[in-house]
Chain A
Amino acid sequence: MLREITLGQYYPVDSVIHRMDPRTKLLGTLLFIISLFCADNIWGYGAAALFLAAVIKLSRVPFKFMVRGLKAVLVLLLISVSFNLFLTSGQVIFQIGFLKITLEGVRTAAFMALRLIFLVLGSSVMTLTTTPNELTDGLEKGLGFLNRVGVPVHEVAMMMSIALRFIPILIEEADKIMKAQMARGADFESGNLVQRAKSMVPLLVPLFISAFRRATDLAMAMEARCYRGGEGRTKMKPLRYQKRDRVSQVVLVLYLAVMIGTRFVS
């Protein structure tokens, strides 16, 4: 019942996007997000849509998996759309009582919605094609220069990969605990807010205890294998840029140039 979370769920197929260096994908996602904020007219959004569609096609991940990530932001989407729709001043095209819709409102709302949807889809492409481990590897290597200014990049990356690794485990654990308590007649779904918050206690107490137990065990296992931080640590599969990464980086820069270019098309 808790399994419907896409963000951070790797979809295992073999594609160009899957094989790409995680640093390229991180850079790509970043540039894509920046490019979305460059777009301010139909041409800009059109170009972004085309680019996104091409990447999704290349990734060979079924589109419905991407859409699942959208469910999470649906409420945010609705709120921002209705705010923009009703609260933008300008040429009125429709009015009931105090609610009025303006032409400018429709435009901003539509663009806002597109921007949010593209944002979520774009980052879903990255999380669906990159395993959490690759992702943190990429972050660690890509941000390695921060080490020189005293940021413990390796430790932060290690913490992130452990946290990511444990999310599915804890979800599964929570699922089991919920079932064990439901077997004893616990009810997690009905009641008012206070009752519901109270009904979480039988779920959260065993979950926290198990998280602490797992943390102790993991720390022990890491120390048993002589882990002592990032210093002098080597990798079995060090990240190296391949030809496809160089190509994609060029494509990305071209794409960003096009997106900036669309601002001047009227």
Chain B
Amino acid sequence: MSIKAVNLTHIYGEGTAFEQYALRDVNFEIEDGQFIGLIGHTGSGKSTLIQHLNGLLKATSGELYYNGENIYAPGYDMKALRSKVGLVFQYPEHQLFEVDVFSDVCFGPKNQGLKKEEVEERARKALELVGLDESFYAQSPFELSGGQKRRVAIAGVLAMDPEVLILDEPTAGLDPKGRDEILGQLERLHRDRGMTIILVSHSMEDIARYADRLIVMNHGEKVFDDTPRNVFRSYKELESMGLAAPQVTYIVQALRREGIPIDDSLITVEEARDAILSMVGLKTGRTEKKQNA
């Protein structure tokens, strides 16, 4: 059970004056239950890449396998693929259209051809997963706050009961509280239901905290594919691509330059705090980390 890309290449506007490589020979395999961070500069091809994973875009060349089946094979059921690989776009405004939150979340499962009771059951469960209670059901999705709209949008995809959930910058433009809530819910989905999650983000802190694997795209090519810890060690290369490592990495590096022998693989604030505290001989505050996660 996995997603596997083989030499995936996508060219926009092939054969016109505006021809442009959006993806160039991208290869990877995503196992079930991974939490993957996907980063890249604007225009690096990450949005193009995720739209391939549920078949919205077709590669110019190369193959994509979902659970061992080639999705470009003739007769492959794209609609079924899209309910297995859920994709949440960046702007919830692009998908919210119904008169109330509940019917909007019902849209996905209804398209899957389920019975009415089952559709509503799915919608209720999805809204519960994103932490929206019944008081929201009858509200217009357009009157919600930014964070609530995002959650309705995520619920709209979760209601289709996907095996893989892909999110394109789900926290862009949210306040810190809204961001932590959404990421916390994703973390729970990953931990409790074993859902594969692919998170596109510009926040290295978020990636460092949640992802167990990090893919870095640059000019349509995959340049890094490793644990966040290993990738962030090459922060100089990341910077040359217009990216960066988490703030903590820079503090750790600065400390090392000052001759303090701190581990250079620390990427979250909590890890660094614990390391520093243990170096000055104080007990570490494990309990607080749990609360933040």
Contacts and interface: CB of A to CB of B under 8 A. Distances in A.
Contacts of A202: 95, 97, 107
A65 B17 CA distance: 10
B193 interface: no
Contacts of B96: 206
B93 interface: yes
Interface string B81-96: 0110011110101111
B65 to A, nearest CB: 19
Interface in B137-165: 142, 156-157, 160
B111 interface: yes
Nearest to B12: A3
Contacts of A213: 93
B97 A206 contact: yes
Interface in B76-122: 79, 82-83, 86-89, 91, 93-97, 107-108, 111-112
B93 A184 contact: no
B93 A209 contact: yes
B34 interface: no
Contact of B157 (A179, A184, A209): A184
Contact of B82 (A11, A182, A206, A210): A182
A13 B108 CA distance: 45
A13 B91 CA distance: 35
A186 interface: yes
A229 interface: no
By size class, the interface of chain B is: 20 to 34
B193 to A, nearest CB: 19
B95 A184 contact: yes
B79 A187 contact: yes
Interface in A1-35: 3, 11-13
Contact of A185 (B13, B79, B89, B93): B79
A179 B93 contact: no
A199 to B, nearest CB: 10
Contacts of B16: 65
Interface in A63-77: 65
A181 interface: yes
Contacts of A206: 93-97
A226 interface: no
A79 interface: no
Nearest to A62: B17
B111 A176 contact: no
A205 interface: yes
Contacts, number: 66
| Residue of A11, A186, A201 with most chain B CB atoms under a 10 A cut-off | A186
A183 interface: yes
B156 A184 contact: yes
Contact of B95 (A3, A12, A177, A201): A177
B201 interface: no
| Residue of A173, A182, A205, A213 with most chain B CB atoms under a 10 A cut-off | A182
A186 B107 CA distance: 8
A239 interface: no
A166 B83 CA distance: 33
B149 to A, nearest CB: 12
A222 interface: no
Given A180-B89, A182-B82, A184-B160, A205 B97 contact: yes
B79 A183 contact: no
B256 to A, nearest CB: 44
A182 B89 CA distance: 11
Interface string A119-152: 0000000000000000000000000000000000
Given A185-B108, A185-B160, A202-B107, A180 B95 contact: yes
Contacts of B13: 3
Contacts of B108: 184-185
B255 interface: no
B140 to A, nearest CB: 11
B285 to A, nearest CB: 42
Given A12-B17, A180-B94, 13 more contacts: A173-B94, A176-B89, A177-B95, A183-B82, A183-B87, A184-B95, A186-B107, A202-B95, A205-B97, A206-B94, A206-B96, A206-B97, A213-B93
10 residue pairs, one from A and one from B, having the closest CB atoms: A185-B111, A205-B97, A184-B108, A180-B95, A183-B87, A180-B94, A180-B89, A177-B94, A202-B97, A179-B56
18 contacts: A13-B17, A62-B17, A176-B89, A177-B94, A179-B89, A180-B94, A183-B88, A183-B89, A184-B82, A184-B107, A184-B160, A185-B82, A185-B83, A187-B111, A201-B97, A206-B97, A209-B93, A209-B142
Interface of A: 3, 11-13, 62, 65, 173, 176-177, 179-187, 201-202, 205-206, 209-210, 213
